[in-house]
């Protein structure tokens, strides 16, 4: 069963440069409390990419499907880099080992603020954090020419994506 958590981060606001260390530490702490010792893949999404949905509506969709990819007509960001045979089964995520209290969520917060600005022209506030079982995903190698690692994963069992979803964090 997927563990659903909620966290209030009133200091984390759309359009405002986040204190990624403070916000990341709070998220890392919550992840560590719920998934100590686990190998996970973290996928984050913002409501900006899911027009008309609330946090609770999107969370319900994710819990039902195991992923936020409910709209088959919408291409993922940088879809041209993902092999076509994996496009419906792929997700972007960050692999992490939950072996210490201080993790890497500050890097993810920064990427959604700075990286999204360069990719999309605007920053993205993270509203939901999906925690996947690393053992149920496979990293696609060599997606980005000249980079040493990929952040694209595919489900080992695409017919049962829900079983790979260990947790979901709603950020308020």
Tens-digit pLDDT profile for residues 56-92: 999 999 999 999 987 776 666 655 666 666 567 778 8
pLDDT at 75: 64
Per-position b or e across 46-79, b if 16+ CB within 10 A of its CB: bbebbeebeeeebbebbeeebbbbeeeeeeeeee
Q: Percentage helix, strand, coil, to 5, in the chain?
A: 35, 25, 40
Asked if 10 contacts 2 with a C-beta cutoff of 8 angstroms, the reply is no
Asked if 134 contacts 40 with a C-beta cutoff of 8 angstroms, the reply is yes
Average per-residue pLDDT for the chain: 87
pLDDT at 51: 83
């Amino acid at each position: 069963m997927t563990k659903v958590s909620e966290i209030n981060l009133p200091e984390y606001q759309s359009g405002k440069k986040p204190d990624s260390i403070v916000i990341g530490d709070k998220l890392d702490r919550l992840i560590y409390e719920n998934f100590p010792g686990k190998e996970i893949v973290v996928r984050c999404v913002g409501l900006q990419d899911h027009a008309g949905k609330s946090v609770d509506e999107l969370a319900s969709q994710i819990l039902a499907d195991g992923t936020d990819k409910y709209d088959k007509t919408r291409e993922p960001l940088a879809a041209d880099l993902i092999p076509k045979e994996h496009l419906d089964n792929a997700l972007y995520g960050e692999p992490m080992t939950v072996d210490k209290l201080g993790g890497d969520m500050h890097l993810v917060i920064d990427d959604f603020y700075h990286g999204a600005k360069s990719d999309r022209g605007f920053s993205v506030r993270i509203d939901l954090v999906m925690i996947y079982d690393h053992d149920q995903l496979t990293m696609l190698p060599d997606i980005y020419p000249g980079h040493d690692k990929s952040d694209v994963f595919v489900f080992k069992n695409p017919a049962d994506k829900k079983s790979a979803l260990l947790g979901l964090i709603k950020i308020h």
